[in-house]
């Protein structure tokens, strides 16, 4: 398993960052490494962002040094969303097949999580947060998700939010995950933007067409910066930051959160003319 870590930044720090420093602080350039599990341990609510890309061998989730744990989920919960073709995950011996965009919640106490290679070439995107209780393992398909249609083509932000691992669907300790699909002709996600000091967030952009890109906006609402992102890259969004994006085409992204509460709609909205 490959792993790195990121410390959290105070909001006074990013204002003087160069492009390279911004990218080093917040961007995860390679989420999927073929034939590997790759993890980034962040100090933003200790959320881990990662990817499992099984090639020829099964890949087992083992505890990284940062956890000082006997097994990965000894004190943690895990959310998995498959962004590749159909694939299987073994959870303490029980097999779950995830189609593209399907999610699996794996609660605290599960000893073995193994990602199997498959003809469909699955790509499992992972978020994991510390957990205080053991909730049941559950697969969540798009039909089980809470689905919200938001925005409009006139404001280039028409999108479908699919809330997969959220408390209206299943019990989690602090993890929330879902995906947002920009509709054809729309490019703006999370516009108007918001902050939520109660929770950090991580974004993973995918289904970005070849030759296209997404500009991710971050920072305090009156002092914004941007990071240009490619398909299959992720970005950490600190609790003091907006997290919005505009693509050169439509695209899809996974949002994942951890922190103080499980209230998805607890957001401090920012009106577009207030942005600086």
Ligand X SMILES: O=C(O)C(=O)C[C@H](O)C(=O)CO
Tell whether residue 101 is a contact of ligand X (CB under 6 A): no
Going by C-beta distance under 8 Å and a sequence separation of 6 or more, which residues neighbour residue 184?
250
Measure CA of the first residue to CA of the last residue in the chain; give whole Å. 41
Tell whether residue 255 is a contact of ligand X (CB under 6 A): yes
Report 186-215 residues binding Zn ion (CB under 5 A): 201
CB 255 to ligand X: min, Å = 4
Report 161-200 residues binding ligand X (CB under 6 A): 161, 180, 189-190, 196
Q: Given 3-state DSSP classes, what are the helix, strand and coil percentages for the chain, each rounded to the nearest 5?
A: 5, 45, 50
CB 18 to ligand X: min, Å = 26
Report the C-alpha gap between 51 and 36 in whole angstroms.
Answer: 8
Report the C-alpha gap between 126 and 49 in whole angstroms.
Answer: 6
Report 23-62 residues binding Zn ion (CB under 5 A): none
SS (H, E, C) 230-253: CCCEEEEECCCCCCEEEECCCCEE
Which residues define the annotated binding site? Answer: 194, 196, 201, 243
Q: Of 38 and 42, which CB lies nearer to ligand X in the complex structure?
A: 42
Report the C-alpha gap between 121 and 139 in whole angstroms.
Answer: 19
Residue showing the smallest CB distance to ligand X in the complex:
180
Using CB distances below 5 to 8 A depending on partner kind, what does residue 45 bind out of Zn ion, ligand X, none?
Answer: none
Which residues of the chain form contacts with ligand X (CB under 6 A)? 159, 161, 180, 189-190, 196, 201, 243, 255, 267
């Amino acid at each position: 398993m490959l792993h790195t870590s990121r410390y959290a930044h105070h909001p006074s720090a990013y204002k003087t960052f160069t492009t390279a420093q911004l990218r080093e602080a917040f961007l995860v350039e390679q989420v999927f490494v073929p034939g590997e599990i790759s993890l980034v341990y962040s100090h933003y609510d200790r959320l881990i962002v990662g990817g499992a890309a099984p090639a020829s061998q099964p890949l087992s989730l083992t505890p990284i040094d940062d956890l000082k744990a006997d097994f990965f989920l000894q004190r943690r919960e895990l959310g998995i969303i498959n962004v590749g073709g159909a694939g299987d995950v073994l959870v303490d011996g029980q097999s779950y097949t995830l189609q593209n965009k399907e999610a699996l919640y794996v609660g605290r106490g599960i000893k073995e999580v193994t990602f199997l290679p498959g003809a469909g070439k699955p790509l499992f995107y992972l978020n994991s947060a510390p957990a205080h209780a053991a909730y049941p393992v559950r697969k969540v398909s798009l039909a089980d998700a809470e689905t919200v249609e938001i925005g409009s083509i006139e404001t280039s932000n028409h999108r479908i939010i699919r809330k997969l691992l959220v408390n209206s669907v299943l019990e989690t300790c602090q993890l929330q995950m879902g995906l947002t699909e920009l509709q054809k002709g729309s490019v703006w996600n999370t516009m108007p933007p918001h902050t939520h000091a109660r929770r950090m967030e991580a974004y993973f952009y995918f289904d970005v067409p070849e030759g296209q890109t997404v500009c991710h906006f971050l920072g305090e609402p009156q002092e914004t910066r941007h990071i240009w992102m490619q398909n299959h890259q992720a970005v950490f969004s600190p609790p003091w930051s907006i997290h919005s994006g505009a693509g050169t085409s439509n695209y899809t992204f996974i949002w994942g959160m951890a922190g103080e509460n499980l209230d998805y709609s607890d957001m401090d909205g920012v009106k577009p003319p207030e942005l600086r």
